A and B are shown apart, each in its own frame.
Chain A
Amino acid sequence: MAEVRGTARSRYLKRFTLSMIAYAGLLIASVLALEYIEGSELANGPWRFALAVAPSLPLLATIWAMGAYLVDEADEFKRSIVVQSMLWGLGLTLSFTSVWGFLEEFAQVSRFPLYLTFPVFCLCMGVAQFFIWRRYK
């Protein structure tokens, strides 16, 4: 049964790796394609929207993979650590974006790119997971 536990994590890592490869590929392809169509009549049509949104699709797959891991993980203790990390990540990300939002509005700080919200969440979650694991050692 140890294989089953290993599988949840390995399945997650496989999905994560594949979606990151797809993300990198689509990001490069989209940027190149957007440069290519710039100035043409395609630049203002639906193609522009399709190309702009394309790199985000693998990120949606990554978010799905994180949820799927929670469903797959048979070990309730490990699952609880990941859930706690996610909650900390969510709380920290919401705090950061709320504070930054007001700074943008009233203190003219530079605009925070929304597409960085998910990486910020992953970073916060990763840091939280490190400290949560330490608590149980």
Chain B
Amino acid sequence: MRNRLKVLRAERNWSQADLAEQLDVSRQSVNAIETGKYDPSLPLAFKIAALFGMPIEHIFFNNDAAQAAE
């Protein structure tokens, strides 16, 4: 699954550690999610969406949808 986490984080000038702290997860988790190597659970995805104040689908896309949009 692709995501815009890195961009959203950069817009707010947050480090991975800052985001991890706000989400109450490890920095490694944020890194793995950002790089698309780990897909978060639905509760964590909702938490991320709530933190950025936007719907989940504005942050996460499945690979097919992302390719279709390109």
Contact = CB atoms under 8 A, between A and B. Distances in A.
- Do the two chains belong together in a single complex? yes
Interface of A: 1-2, 5, 74-78, 80, 135-136
Given A135-B37, A136-B37, A78 B24 contact: no
A136 B21 contact: no
Contacts of B24: 1, 74
B16 to A, nearest CB: 13
Interface in B13-70: 21, 24-26, 28-29, 31-33, 37-38, 40-41, 44
A10 to B, nearest CB: 14
A29 B11 CA distance: 63
Given A1-B24, A75-B29, A77-B33, 9 more contacts: A75-B25, A75-B26, A76-B41, A76-B44, A77-B25, A77-B32, A78-B28, A78-B29, A135-B37
A76 B37 contact: no
A5 to B, nearest CB: 6
Contact of B28 (A1, A2, A74, A136): A136
